[in-house]
Amino acid sequence: MAGLVWAAFTLALLVAVNYVDAHGYRDKSLRKPIPLEKRYHNHAPVPLKRRHELPKAFSWCDLDGVNYCTANWNQHIPYYCGGCWVHGSLSMVQDRLKIKKKGKSPDVMLARQTLLNCAAFEGYGHGCDGGDTVDVFGYMTEFGLPDEGCMTYNATDHTKFPGKKHCPAHGYCLNCMPIDGVDTCWPIKRPIKYYLTSWGNLDAGEEAMMSEIHARGPITCGIACPDEFTYGYRGGIFIDKSNDTELDHDVEVVGWGEEDGVKYWIVRNSWGTYWGEMGFFRVERGVNAVQIESGDCWYAEPEWQTEQDVDNGKLHGSMYGLKDANDYDDDGRQPKLRTQVIKTGGQRAQEEERDVQVSRRMLH
């Protein structure tokens, strides 16, 4: 009897582990092949270099003593969220922003929560149930994305807005302050946004990956996640002996190196700094370990024009969002929200009040 109970417990544990181990798509039926026309936008590949033309070791996290890698993330807290497609892609984009800005402060940490809140409404991914790198790219190209000063990560998605056909404004960017003694939130409809100008799918293989990384910045790659990697990696160079071929996790490749004759990739994960080597891992290079060289690697080129417009004085900030350089009220403040709501009429006032109530709930 005890043996049967233990077997049942073990089976239940395995089922639970397999459920959360689907890092991208919890529901595998949601994953569809990416059509060719969605794999590229203004695609401009870099010239392919051979291994002997590239450095033996290279990393954007330590390029001549300068770190162009932004901070690490953890997609799994405060709740499990199958958002690796967001984290692996946005880590690459914001590192490339830092490279384009030549390390200029402040680092841009893109609003992954905004993407999880809004992208599915426009047909880009399935929130915490998974998505693809091209969903991130497509959404950023069409709608732009603010930084995390707009929307902090809480591992939820679009499903918290039932009945909506499009993302509500307070799901994109939000500010909150006590007004007349009441904690009040309102949408920021004109934040600093970052867009993508081009992106594409790299050819399979080590040299295509190295050429792109060396020329323009880190890349995002889909990998397989055998249990010995997910739960057993303790640092060092991971040697894949699993034969696992299912691509179900997205990561950022920032460079490469060689140790004791073993070539490796330097890769950022999104499982917190307590996992792996401060949130990174190294995996054997040149042998398609964990399918990292199988052809599911991507680049994207971001732009930061709105930030530059703030920098040069064309725009200025406020508690209510960006404004044109000469756009001030007499006292330098936005008209009060309450006055704005009264002027909109009954139906719209009710809608805005509902939005404020939802926004308040998002605080807790």
Catalytic residue among 76, 87, 170, 249: 249
Active site residue 84: yes
Q: Are 256 and 58 in contact (CB under 8 A)?
A: yes
Partner residues linked to 199 by β-bridges:
41, 300
| DSSP structural state of residue 101 | T
Active site residue 87: no
| Closest among 268, 281, 275, 270 to 238, alpha carbons compared | 281
- As a whole number of angstroms, the longest Cα–Cα distance in the chain is 80
Active site residue 225: no
Q: Which sign does the torsion angle of CA 239, 244, 247, 248 carry?
A: negative
Measure the CA angle with vertex 327, ends 322 and 332; round to 5°.
Answer: 90
Assigned token pair, 207 = 């040299």
Rounded Cα distance, 102 and 85, in Å:
26
Burial label for 30, CB within 10 Å (0-12, 13-18, 19+), is middle
- 6: how many CB neighbours lie within 10 A of its CB? 10
Q: Give residue for tokens 């049967």.
A: 4
Rounded Cα distance, 5 and 234, in Å:
32
Q: Are strands 280-284 and 237-238 parallel, antiparallel or unpaired?
A: parallel
| Closest among 153, 101, 151 to 128, alpha carbons compared | 153
Catalytic residue among 84, 167, 173, 185: 84
For every residue of 123-143, DSSP letters joined together read: TS--GGG---HHHHHHHHHHH
Active site residues: 84, 249, 269
